[in-house]
């Protein structure tokens, strides 16, 4: 084969080789681009899950706080009427008064925890939680009695619990007046309850949870001071 023919053939062959190499490189590039897109999508999903995780945890917490007492009632069904059927404990009942009081304490402390989280986190599932608390407070003399007898143990959530206990503002004010009268021997607690009454009377249109939010912000303010 003459040089005149060989040179063009080598030129064509070199060109084809360059085309093949270019196509291979392009294929590799497309594959890398596809992998990069998949990695970006995976990272975005992970970021989305990370952002949703706190909300998921709050939902799980809300379920736990409102269902923990119910698990106890499943094991002790004889206590159920005292928290669902407006049954008052009477001398001679099969269950002891202390057992009913302990169950009431568990209910209220779980409710107080749920209320504080609802006041702190906008993502907390308030819908439904308020109805559960309202139902039990309005259908359990044991819960109402414990709340009144140990109102000082709910400094941040007491007013909110009273709002859920009652259907009208007048009823909440009446409860606060009774609580003020009952604290005559404890001047500091008496003043605290008077302040709650003042806040309630001068706050129109606030939700029950907002009273707890106000109390929490006030406590943080005192802590900073």
Tell me the domain boundaries of the chain. 54-224
Write down the pTM of the prediction: 0.70
Q: With the C-alpha atoms ordered 206, 66, 155, 166, is the resulting torsion angle positive or negative?
A: positive
CA distances from 7 to 2, 12, 13 (A): 9, 9, 10
Quick one: pLDDT at residue 173? 97
Count H helices and E strands in the chain, helices first.
Answer: 9, 0
Eight-class DSSP state of 87: P
Half-sphere exposure at residue 157, Cβ-oriented, CA atoms within 13 angstroms: 22
Contact 58, 123 (CB under 8 A): yes
pLDDT digits (tens, 9 = 90+) for 32-75: 556 545 554 554 454 454 444 555 454 555 555 556 677 778 88
pLDDT tens digits, 126-169: 667 888 899 999 999 999 999 999 999 999 999 999 999 999 99
- 3-class secondary structure, 143: helix
């Amino acid at each position: 084969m003459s040089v005149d023919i060989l040179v063009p053939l080598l030129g064509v062959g070199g060109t084809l080789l360059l085309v093949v190499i270019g196509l291979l490189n392009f294929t590799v590039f497309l594959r890398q681009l596809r992998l990069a897109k998949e990695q970006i999508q995976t990272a975005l999903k992970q970021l989305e899950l990370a952002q949703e995780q706190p909300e998921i945890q709050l939902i799980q917490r809300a379920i736990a706080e409102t269902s923990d007492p119910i698990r106890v009632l499943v094991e002790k069904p004889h206590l159920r009427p005292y928290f669902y059927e407006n049954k008052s404990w009477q001398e001679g009942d099969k269950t002891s008064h202390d057992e009913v009081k302990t169950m009431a304490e568990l209910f209220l402390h779980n409710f107080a925890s749920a209320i504080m989280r609802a006041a702190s986190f906008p993502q907390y599932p308030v819908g439904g939680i308020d109805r559960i608390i309202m139902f039990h407070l309005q259908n359990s003399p044991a819960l109402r009695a414990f709340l009144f007898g140990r109102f000082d143990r709910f400094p941040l959530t007491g007013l909110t619990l009273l709002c859920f206990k009652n259907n009208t503002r007048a009823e909440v004010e009446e409860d606060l007046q009774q609580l003020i009268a009952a604290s005559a021997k404890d001047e500091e607690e008496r003043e605290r309850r008077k302040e709650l009454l003042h806040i309630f009377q001068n706050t129109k249109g606030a939700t029950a949870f907002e009273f707890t939010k106000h109390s929490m912000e006030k406590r943080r303010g005192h802590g900073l001071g």
